[in-house]
Amino acid sequence: MSQVLQRTSATGTRATRVIGATSILVMAWVVVSGLLLTPQDVVQGESVRIMYVHVPSAWIAYLAFIFTAVASASWLISKKHSMGFDRFAGASAEVGVMFMAITLVTGSLWGRLTWGEFWQWDPRLTTTAFLFVTYIGYLAVRRLEGSVEQRARRSAVVAMLAVLEIPLVHFSVVLWRSLHQGATVLNPNGDVKMDDLMLFTLFSGVVGFTLVFIWLVLHRQRTMLLVDLANNQGLDSAIVARRAEGSAN
Amino acid sequence: MKNISGTKVAKGKVVSAVLLKDLRIELRSRVVTNQVLPFAGLVMVMFAFALDNDDVLERVAAGLIWLATLFSLFMIVQRSFAIDTADGALDSLRVAGIDLAAVFFGKAIALALKLIALEVVLICGAVLLYRVDLSANGLVLLVTCVLCATSGLAFVGTLYGGLTAGAKGRETLLPLLLLPVVAPVLIAATRATEAAFGSGGAQTSEGWAWIGLLTVFAAVFGVGGSLAFGSLIDE
Amino acid sequence: MKDAGFIFGSYIVTLGAILMFAVSTLQRAKKSSQLVTDKDKTWL
């Protein structure tokens, strides 16, 4: 059995298996508690249950993008230009984009229930949407053709530019909204009076999502190394084959 | 910075050489005047068809000018870098030991001049097609807005143009990367232009707050671009 | 439960996306791991 596991999960180790199993347990508890055990909110009613998946995924998405920025900066600054930084930045961004998509979808479902609209042009939502599109662009840059070093340099610069861009976008949207007074957005988190079980479930959600994030990033960055190595080997064996052809003639 | 023969090439000389080269290419090929400009004009006319209401058009004229400018920006940037990479001109400059920050500024200024020419025509078009009124105070604001917004767009456009230069699929990648970045310019320039036009009862004085944002944007990406451009080209 | 569709929907979207991402990652890892020798897998 352990041998079969070893072969099916090439990027798995004992540590990732422990993290994986723990995160499944925690996530199962969050689902059961979030859907069944926790009480409904006085103001929001049942719709408050979306909070237990929405808030943790937003938290992980932002955390992932911070990690990407820090890892990219480390790659640029470090003299060795270790590819580990680059792979971590890429893996973290991929997972971050996924959690950002989850955040936007669950957020608009929750918004429909609490505000009556799927989308509000409020600064926080708009900046989040821009962050999402920016990192989709970042992932597209990583898929450009070229060597591993080119990929690392290009994507690290793009990640640094995103750090410059996002505050400008946020500030301009804040200024835009403050002049064009739209519908007042009620803050969904602020209105919820949380009892102990609700707080604990939300906290478990954050822990569970963080474990899932760690598991995904570990596997993603190892997979990236495997794919890079496999591509290199493909190139090497092609060169060897051409040389063999040349000497045979 | 020294070139192959070991003599020093002044930064200013590189900037003006690259700038003049880009403008000379435009004078000979006439791509901006014969293709991009008619395209931008078409966009303005198509919006008139789509919106089909004189009051609405006058109200949104400012936004349409800047949207048409953004679409044109992609075309001009792509064209400019396609020429440079097709002949390996950027690689040659790098191998010759030319200061790439100077190349960045040269290309950005050339891009800004082309954009300004385009914007002047678009604004005249908006005055004619969408019946926009322009006061003397508004004109001062509008000129400042065009200068600040265009320098920001030129810096960002040159930077991301260099990033995607020579890559496969750059035609589709460039708008994806650029549009989120230039969103602050679109917002700020549109509001400032609305204030200049007085559309929707906006006061001219409201526009000046946005000029500050445009200036910050241009400064940030001017500095960021001159630092990053070299490492994007250098491969 | 009121608004059950929205609430269950958001849970299904969340868990489904994570699961799909995890499965696709493991599949890609499995495919490329056959081409790489074990001594290059620094984590083993």
pLDDT tens digits for range B83-95: 888 888 888 888 8
Structure tokens at A199: 């707080």
In a domain, B151, yes or no: yes
Contact of C8 with A109, CB cutoff 8 Å: no
Q: Which of A130, A150, A176 sits opposite B235 (nearest CB)?
A: A150
Q: In this structure, what is the dihedral angle of CA atoms C12, C18, C21, C24, given to the nearest 10 degrees?
A: -80
First to last CA, chain C: 48
Spatial CB neighbours of A233, under 8 Å, sequence gap ≥ 6: C35, C36
Residue with tokens 């991301």: B160
- Closest CA in chain A for residue C20: A98
Residue with tokens 């100077």: B102
pLDDT of residue B164: 86
Q: Which of B177, B217, B231 sits opposite A168 (nearest CB)?
A: B217
Contact of B131 with B36, CB cutoff 8 Å: no
CA distance B181 to chain A (A): 6
Which residue range forms the structural domain that includes residue A147? 49-230
Tell me B214's DSSP state: H
Q: For residue A83, how far is the Cα from the chain centroid?
A: 20
Alpha carbons B170 and B168: distance in angstroms, whole number: 6
In a domain, A153, yes or no: yes
Task: Residue B37: name the closest of B154, B149, B125, B129 by CA.
Answer: B125
pLDDT of residue A192: 61
Alpha carbons B8 and B72: distance in angstroms, whole number: 37
Which residue range forms the structural domain that includes residue B19? 11-233
> Tens digits of per-residue pLDDT, B49-101?
998 888 888 888 899 999 999 999 999 999 999 888 888 888 888 888 888 89
Spatial CB neighbours of B96, under 8 Å, sequence gap ≥ 6: B3, B4
> Tens digits of per-residue pLDDT, A171-218?
888 888 765 544 444 455 555 667 888 889 999 999 999 999 999 999
In a domain, B2, yes or no: no
In a domain, A120, yes or no: yes
In a domain, B4, yes or no: no
Contact of A100 with A125, CB cutoff 8 Å: no
Contact of B65 with B123, CB cutoff 8 Å: yes
Task: Report pTM.
Answer: 0.87
Domain count, chain A: 1
Centre a 10 Å sphere on the Cβ of residue A248 and count the other Cβ atoms it contains. 6
In a domain, A103, yes or no: yes
Mean pLDDT, residues A62-76 taken together = 94
In a domain, A28, yes or no: no
Binary contact (C22, A215; C-beta < 8 A): yes
CA distance A144 to chain B (A): 7
Alpha carbons B129 and B118: distance in angstroms, whole number: 16
Work out the mean pLDDT of chain A and round it to a whole number. Answer: 85
First to last CA, chain B: 19
Strand ranges in C1-44 using DSSP code E only, listed in sequence order: none
Domain count, chain B: 1
pLDDT of residue B74: 93
- The yes-or-no reply on C/B contact (3 CB pairs or more, < 8 Å) is no
